Chain A
Amino acid sequence: MTGKFMLSRRDLLKTSAAGAALGLASAAFPIRAARAAAATVGFIYVGPKDDYGYNQAHAEGAASLKGIEGISIVEEENVPETVDVQKTMESMINLDGASLIFPTSFGYFDPHMLAMCAKFPDVQFRHCGGMWNKDKHPMNAGSYFGYIGLGQYLNGVVAGHTTKSKKLGFVAAKPIPQVLLNINSFLLGARSVDPAITCQVIFTGEWSLAVKEAEATNALVDQGADVITCHVDSPKVVVETAAGRGAFVCGYHANQSPLAPEKYLTGAEWNWAKVYKMFVDDLIAGKPLPNFTRGGLADGFVKMSPLGPAVGEAARKQFDATLAEMMKGGFSVIKGPLKSNKGAVVATEGQAFVETAIELESMDYLVEGVVGSTA
């Protein structure tokens, strides 16, 4: 099979050397054109690439590159954040000839990706997260990330219109700044509809614990929460359990609407396709790749799932209006006067933090109205 393939590729090259019908050939044999790739891009995932969550979002981004001429993709999933990922990177470079690698999980960066950066100075590495620092790290490394907090704010707007009990539920993994920002944004979005709304948060302590996530969802519904969202690696269990108990859900990471078509309101999704396309365009054009890439809703790094059938007219209107406001840029979720749920002032009157504000990256509080604790 392979031998036959090689032979016909040679035929194709001969044909193109003769200058005959190159366009026709590459249009008729798109796979073959991709085989003759100018560059190979590697993607590494920490979990399964169809987990309805974090990894699926990245894999969808990778899949979107497959049509680009001259680019071929290699992927590996379920790679632990250990020396295993170094082996994966080495084999992608040595065996597949990858010249650009995206290790997508947080724990891949230090020391694994940095070790590979030193070993293969000609290969470019871009890590998903915010850890690259110009002073400390090599120039063939870099990081890219998205601001998804505004997406959770929009989730909150829709949830605020949909809830009848005025109680929302949030299943969270760990109390790190990014998770806390999502919880706070979700509640503040809902409070922009009705300031009496509260949000109950349950931390499971791990990124992926199916049974505990299901228990947490059940406990939230038992306490009267009627719209649930989450920040765990794979929201599948939370979405299915919540919908099974009759609660509405807002998604996260990827579009989970196929799991609960009636109960799914909307969701904050990553749009890595846009980010990966940017990198690959630069790669094809021979331009140096950016080392530090960030963006939010307005930049297309983050997108919202289409609104579900349960979303009412008022919710739809405010969702669209808020989204339009955000697209102009400079929208602040955390703005004064605002207190934490322990009573400390987190933003004074007139103070506002836009999504790019560095202060948000060290968030250690839950805002007033969130029932829960960071420790």
Chain B
Amino acid sequence: METTDIGLWGVPLALLGGAIRVSTPFIFVSLGEAITERSGRINLGLEGTLVFGAMSAYAVAVITGSPWLGLVAAALAGLCFGLFHGWICKFPKVNDIAIGIALMLFGSGLAFFFGKPFIQPSAPDLPAIPFGAWSNIPQVQAALNVNVLFLIGAALAVFLWWAFRNTRVGLIVRVVGDSADAARAMGLNPNTVRLLATGVGGALAGIGGAYLSLYYPGSWTERISSGQGLMAVALVIFARWNPLGCFAAALLFGGAGALGPALQSVGVTQGYYLFYAAPYILTLIIMIATSSPSRTLAGAPGELSITK
């Protein structure tokens, strides 16, 4: 193996590489959740969907030998979870947060149950594009090995940002999210819109799970997610329901997650628990700095139960 001593350059490089490697599940789950919440509903169950997506993608990839079929399976499984959530929540007096928590536990439990035989076998990985091929430093090559899903996620964030503002579908989702009464007056059925929005959100979360098990870290274990689905749901609020903000926040969390290990690797070894807490401290600071006692959160959909 060729090695080049890169010393302290390892830290920015690890932040860059980490942002690209770690952020993808955050991107997909938070974009999915942004669509769902823009339609006026919260789906906390995406953690369960993420885990189930990871399991189904891995299982299908093991059985068929194709990671792409695994990806499709994860998206379909996520779609089913999302539609299920949307369907239950359409009944009157059902609390979407409680259903979300139930589905989070249900999704994880079901994934553990079906995932048992797939912990040991190895599945083929999703392909990555070597953007670092121009460099002869192996560390740069490794950091710039970008998975296709990351690129799709980035494109999707831009597309959603554009679509929310400029398309009919985007407008419908926003109207339903801001005022169900106004939507009804326009002849729209809020429940149908929310059902579809939750379904799409679930499908995206499933794809995020596929990235976890089929690319990075790239294996199915029952603790693969360690709460990333929940963090991504929080990221949406942090990003003020803006898809581009979701993308940026996901990158920030990915990079911040790489900070602790990278600093230890260059010899900054004191206080690593503090570095691991860095993303959360950063979140707190930004939330405090941007909040105001005199108005509700900017950009929050009016129908969202957290703002009522």
A78 within 8 A of B: yes
A246 within 8 A of B: yes
B92 within 8 A of A: no
Distance in angstroms from B248 CB to nearest chain A CB is 19
- 1/0 contact string of B1-42 vs chain A (CB within 8 Å): 101111000100110011001100000000000000000000
If A210-B223, A226-B3 touch, whether A219 touches B142 (CB-CB below 8 Å) is no
If A205-B273, A209-B226, A236-B219 touch, whether A222 touches B264 (CB-CB below 8 Å) is no
17 A–B contacts from the bound complex (CB under 8 Å): A47-B223, A164-B1, A210-B212, A210-B217, A210-B221, A211-B217, A211-B257, A212-B260, A216-B265, A218-B14, A219-B10, A219-B264, A221-B139, A222-B10, A222-B14, A223-B266, A371-B267
Segment 106-150 of B: residues with Cβ below 8 Å from A: 112, 116, 119-120, 122, 138-139, 142-143
Contact A214 B217 (CB under 8 A): yes
Contact A234 B221 (CB under 8 A): yes
- Contact for A211 among B22, B119, B266, CB less than 8 A: B22
Distance in angstroms from A111 CB to nearest chain B CB is 25
Contact B276 A210 (CB under 8 A): no
Q: From B22, which residue of chain A is reached at the shortest CB distance?
A: A211
Contact A236 B221 (CB under 8 A): yes
A372–B219 alpha-carbon span in the complex (Å):
28
B170 within 8 A of A: no
A259 within 8 A of B: yes
Q: From B258, which residue of chain A is reached at the shortest CB distance?
A: A215
Contact A221 B142 (CB under 8 A): yes
Contact A224 B223 (CB under 8 A): no
List the B side residues contacting A212 at CB < 8 Å. 257, 260-261, 276
B65 within 8 A of A: no
B228 within 8 A of A: yes
A208 within 8 A of B: yes
List the B side residues contacting A211 at CB < 8 Å. 22, 212, 216-217, 226, 228, 257
A223–B11 alpha-carbon span in the complex (Å):
10
Segment 300-357 of A: residues with Cβ below 8 Å from B: none
Contact A214 B216 (CB under 8 A): yes
Contact A205 B276 (CB under 8 A): yes
Contact A241 B217 (CB under 8 A): yes
Q: From A366, which residue of chain B is reached at the shortest CB distance?
A: B269
- Contact for A219 among B226, B228, B258, CB less than 8 A: B258
Closest 7 A/B residue pairs (Cβ): A373-B269, A219-B265, A214-B217, A216-B261, A246-B1, A219-B261, A202-B264
Contact B120 A50 (CB under 8 A): yes
List the B side residues contacting A205 at CB < 8 Å. 272-273, 276
Distance in angstroms from B267 CB to nearest chain A CB is 6
Distance in angstroms from A97 CB to nearest chain B CB is 26
List the B side residues contacting A241 at CB < 8 Å. 217-218
A35 within 8 A of B: no
If A215-B22, A222-B6 touch, whether A48 touches B265 (CB-CB below 8 Å) is no
Interface centre among A51, A205, A210, A247 (most CB of B within 10 A): A210
A269 within 8 A of B: no
A201 within 8 A of B: yes
Distance in angstroms from B255 CB to nearest chain A CB is 11
Interface centre among B221, B262, B271 (most CB of A within 10 A): B221
Distance in angstroms from A349 CB to nearest chain B CB is 28
List the B side residues contacting A66 at CB < 8 Å. none
Contact B262 A48 (CB under 8 A): no
A362 within 8 A of B: no
If A211-B257, A212-B257, A375-B270 touch, whether A201 touches B264 (CB-CB below 8 Å) is yes
- 1/0 contact string of A285-299 vs chain B (CB within 8 Å): 000000000000000
A200 within 8 A of B: yes
Contact B218 A240 (CB under 8 A): yes
A211–B218 alpha-carbon span in the complex (Å):
9
A93 within 8 A of B: no
Besides A51-B221, A216-B261, A218-B142, 15 new A-B residue pairs in contact (Cβ under 8 A), listed by A number = A50-B119, A78-B222, A203-B272, A205-B272, A205-B273, A210-B219, A211-B216, A211-B226, A223-B265, A224-B4, A234-B223, A237-B218, A237-B221, A246-B138, A372-B269
If A51-B119, A78-B222, A240-B217 touch, whether A219 touches B269 (CB-CB below 8 Å) is no
Distance in angstroms from B227 CB to nearest chain A CB is 10
List the A side residues contacting B188 at CB < 8 Å. none
A51–B138 alpha-carbon span in the complex (Å):
31
Contact B1 A247 (CB under 8 A): yes
A205–B257 alpha-carbon span in the complex (Å):
13
A245–B138 alpha-carbon span in the complex (Å):
9
B154 within 8 A of A: no
List the B side residues contacting A210 at CB < 8 Å. 212, 217, 219, 221, 223-224, 226
Q: From B265, which residue of chain A is reached at the shortest CB distance?
A: A219
- 1/0 contact string of A227-238 vs chain B (CB within 8 Å): 000000010110
List the B side residues contacting A240 at CB < 8 Å. 217-219
A204–B272 alpha-carbon span in the complex (Å):
9
- 1/0 contact string of A91-124 vs chain B (CB within 8 Å): 0000000000000000000000000000000000
- 1/0 contact string of B236-260 vs chain A (CB within 8 Å): 0000000000000000000001101
